[in-house]
Structure 1
């Protein structure tokens, strides 16, 4: 019975965690690499391989342009390989370039202008951001949001809100100059800025007043038992069923909201990284594949819309990480091109090789650290 229970538990884990994770990751990786692919094709670069995953091929086909489209055994990423690439990491060496015929050199990545190469590299992360904007636009326009007015029904005793002078019956109009239309918008801003002084414009008895409050950093447990640090103001909204409305936006407004939502995720992700670097925040929220798989499974238990919304956030994160100026990542390539633009010539192959080795070491250390965080998170959850 123990063996059967273990097998049943493994099967449940596979369905609940691994499959949603792989579906989300595959879509995001495909869109990222498709960005590189489409701009490279537009610039006239020949592409030999478009791969989802690394390692030996599982299944694939060759299109009329002699590009091999394939799924590979290790599903944690993917790549587009140009005809002058030496490997799947898009390392371009002069030796591989010089082996090409004069005609092939014109269709190689290294044979393109600096602007074209930069556009091809940047297209992957940009595609991730566009995917997130598209998802959010559909969510806001077709499915809408359940919203309620930004009214204050309860002020917790001893909270930051009480210290700031909030009272039941207040209506929050603005937070730090940002107009507030519903209670969820205020929660989103407050939760991501613990320890930061925020200015609130509040309507009370027909009068507008200014209050200043600093959200307290607290660990909040979600429905899955995950403990998440966030800013807490200490006010509650006790809305009845009739006070909630489903708000759908027209496509243009929804797109604007989607752009704002994408920028919100980017800016607060960068803010968190900065806070970790300067010591204002703990790095325990940095997660890797295990944490993503766990959250993917949790999102799947809430339904398709939750998985799609989670995919948008992960797409933004992957696009942003790829823009970090670390050799091995797209941002590292763009850093090299910036140096080339300033110097008027590219860095030597030796310098680039050293940079890539340093970048590989940094990426591996980050992966190990993130995986360690994941394991600690799992052991205490």
Structure 2
């Protein structure tokens, strides 16, 4: 356990500031989405806070909203008129004491469609932020990918037996030029086990080696055991010489950004479904320490990686908040869906029970994910 905390302290000087910046910015945009749509519909907003805890500094705008920065900068919240807390739980006692004019500016007394839009605005802002950021990166830098340098060779694998070594750069497979490491698995898989002529560059010397792929057991990105046709090479390190930026035409960048955003959503749902169906390892689920380590790694590699991580986490936060768990935006949407079906809001006891169960579930998942981080 001492080693675990030593590792935490090791990444803290760089990882913690990067983590705080990414989380605060992404959550700030999320809350800004709620704020703007609520203001649009005339909902009173009492507080817009960056961070939690006691206020460091702030100001009150002409509409009475207190904008503030608080001591614990790991997120933020918007507190609407009539809310009991930062989770937008209605303060029923306070609402009962308001007159009709005051209640007309509270979220619970707005039409159902407006409440749905306010709840959905936070996740929508996260998805929009990700699309804008990905569009910027793809337009001005391109899509980052790894080149074809070999980082590792599995002992006794087809590649090892053919003489491929770490540091070699694969330049062609069966006379087809390759530029990206991501191209290799598809070309190798399509060989159906027949010998391949693999051209490599070894310290400036060109050579062609005959490699016969075979079926090997490995794990996919979700930790699920799979069998693939492979030669037994791993990609090289994320270094400048092994990095390729694939240009995207400016008119295609927004569409590519939407595709990238959807890819993250699809990957998340696939992983969660595999956990539920016992086809993936739940220990791969990461928490705040894992995100901080990712932030440190991204910050140490440069601005591109840190900005990309910001967009990735923005998609993740937007998606997680849509889960139908009371306390999250998706929980509010679940309540509104029940209201639309029943023709009336759920009873106070049912809502309160849902919020308590939601809080327990969210805290439980956070503890589980943090434990996974510490174990790793």
Which TM class, normalised by the smaller chain length? 0.7 to 0.9
Structure 1 residue 105: deviation in Å? 1.4
2:282 matched residue in structure 1: 283
- Kept in 1, the 8 Å contact 2:51–2:74? The answer is yes
1:124 aligned to 2:122? yes
Structure 1 residue 103: deviation in Å? 1.5
1:47 aligned to 2:48? no
1:257 aligned to 2:249? no
Q: Distance in 2 between matches of 1:120 and 1:219?
A: 38
Q: Unaligned stretches of 5+ in structure 2? A: 1-6, 159-171, 198-213
**CA displacement, residues 13-49 of structure 1 (integer Å, 9 cap, x when unaligned):** 4431111110111110110000101111111111000
1:234 aligned to 2:235? no
- Kept in 1, the 8 Å contact 2:23–2:74? The answer is yes
2:346 matched residue in structure 1: 347
Q: Distance in 1 between matches of 2:242 and 2:255?
A: 26
Structure 1 residue 280: deviation in Å? 0.6
- Kept in 2, the 8 Å contact 1:125–1:320? The answer is yes
Structure 1 residue 276: deviation in Å? 0.8
Equivalenced residues, count: 332
> SS of the counterpart of 1:78?
strand
- Kept in 2, the 8 Å contact 1:216–1:233? The answer is no
- Kept in 2, the 8 Å contact 1:83–1:108? The answer is yes
1:95 and 1:201, CA in 2 relative to 1: closer, same or farther beyond 3 A?
farther
Structure 1 residue 94: deviation in Å? 3.1
Structure 1 residue 168: deviation in Å? 3.6
> SS of the counterpart of 2:218?
strand
Q: Distance in 1 between matches of 2:262 and 2:360?
A: 30
1:326 matched residue in structure 2: 325
**CA displacement, residues 75-109 of structure 1 (integer Å, 9 cap, x when unaligned):** 23221111110111100143222222222211111
2:211 matched residue in structure 1: none
2:296 matched residue in structure 1: 297
1:94 matched residue in structure 2: 92
1:72 aligned to 2:70? yes
1:303 and 1:245, CA in 2 relative to 1: closer, same or farther beyond 3 A?
closer
Picking from 168, 171, 174, the partner of 1:169 is 174
Q: Distance in 1 between matches of 2:329 and 2:241?
A: 49
> SS of the counterpart of 1:77?
strand
- Kept in 2, the 8 Å contact 1:97–1:110? The answer is no
1:177 matched residue in structure 2: none
1:270 aligned to 2:269? yes
1:84 aligned to 2:89? no
Q: Distance in 2 between matches of 1:73 and 1:238?
A: 42
Structure 1 residue 218: deviation in Å? 3.5
Picking from 22, 25, 29, the partner of 2:23 is 25
> SS of the counterpart of 2:48?
strand
1:217 matched residue in structure 2: 218
1:237 and 1:87, CA in 2 relative to 1: closer, same or farther beyond 3 A?
closer
Structure 1 residue 215: deviation in Å? 8.3
- Kept in 1, the 8 Å contact 2:181–2:235? The answer is no
1:31 and 1:242, CA in 2 relative to 1: closer, same or farther beyond 3 A?
closer
- Kept in 1, the 8 Å contact 2:215–2:230? The answer is no
TM-score (norm 2): 0.77
1:84 and 1:305, CA in 2 relative to 1: closer, same or farther beyond 3 A?
same
2:207 matched residue in structure 1: none
Structure 1 residue 237: deviation in Å? 10
Q: Distance in 2 between matches of 1:146 and 1:357?
A: 43
Q: Unaligned stretches of 5+ in structure 1? A: 1-8, 160-166, 173-180, 191-197, 206-212, 221-226
Q: Distance in 2 between matches of 1:298 and 1:184?
A: 21
1:105 and 1:228, CA in 2 relative to 1: closer, same or farther beyond 3 A?
same
Q: Distance in 2 between matches of 1:278 and 1:10?
A: 33
Q: Distance in 1 between matches of 2:363 and 2:127?
A: 25
1:335 matched residue in structure 2: 334
2:246 matched residue in structure 1: 247
> SS of the counterpart of 1:107?
coil
Structure 1 residue 279: deviation in Å? 0.8
